[in-house]
């Protein structure tokens, strides 16, 4: 069988002196704490160790259960907003009839573009229809609504 990784490579690892110093300091402190704990507990009996283990397990089970229960319980929380909520000004077109005609023209142009995609580039049309499944139906419905609105204004 061919050895795929036959070349040895030397990769230069960047040296972060501050991080290395912090890691060495943390390791030294943790070793000191471990030695101190070992000296304090070297005379403990088996029964005392089992009691400490039992208390630790019960405490961690209690805390975990409490976190899960609080996460799954439904609380009604009130969110206070310190700033006033500004109401937005409604957009009012200057010429509603011209705006409707322009929008209807754009919708029809987009529909013809989608139809040409369906015939000339089926893959692109499929990706669009997978992303927005009811786009052609919604487009037809919007065109009908705009045409009715324009007919009612005339």
Q: How far apart are CA 27 and CA 69, in angstroms?
A: 36
Q: How far is CA 136 from CA 74, 126, 133, 144, in A?
A: 41, 12, 8, 12
| pLDDT band at residue 129 using 50, 70 and 90 as cut-offs | confident
pTM for the model stands at 0.37
pLDDT-wise least confident of 43-47, 50-54, 123-127: 123-127
Residue 153, pLDDT score:
72
Half-sphere exposure of 126 (CA within 13 A, CB side): 4
Residue 6, pLDDT score:
57
Q: How far apart are CA 46 and CA 73, in angstroms?
A: 40
Residue 104, pLDDT score:
86
pLDDT mean across residues, the chain:
81
């Amino acid at each position: 069988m061919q050895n795929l990784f036959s070349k040895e490579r030397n990769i230069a690892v960047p040296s972060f002196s501050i991080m290395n110093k912090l890691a060495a300091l943390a390791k030294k402190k943790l070793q000191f704490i471990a030695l101190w704990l070992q000296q304090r507990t070297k005379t403990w009996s088996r029964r005392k160790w089992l009691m400490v283990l039992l208390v630790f397990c019960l405490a961690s089970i209690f805390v975990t259960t409490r976190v899960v229960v609080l996460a799954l319980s439904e609380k009604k929380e009130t969110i206070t907003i310190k700033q006033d909520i500004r109401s937005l000004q409604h957009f009012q077109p200057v010429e509603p009839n011209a705006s409707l005609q322009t929008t209807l023209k754009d919708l029809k142009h987009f529909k013809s573009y989608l139809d040409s995609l369906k015939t000339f580039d089926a893959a692109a049309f499929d990706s669009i229809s997978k992303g927005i499944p009811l786009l052609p139906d919604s487009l037809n419905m919007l065109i009908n609504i705009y045409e009715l609105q324009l007919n009612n204004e005339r």
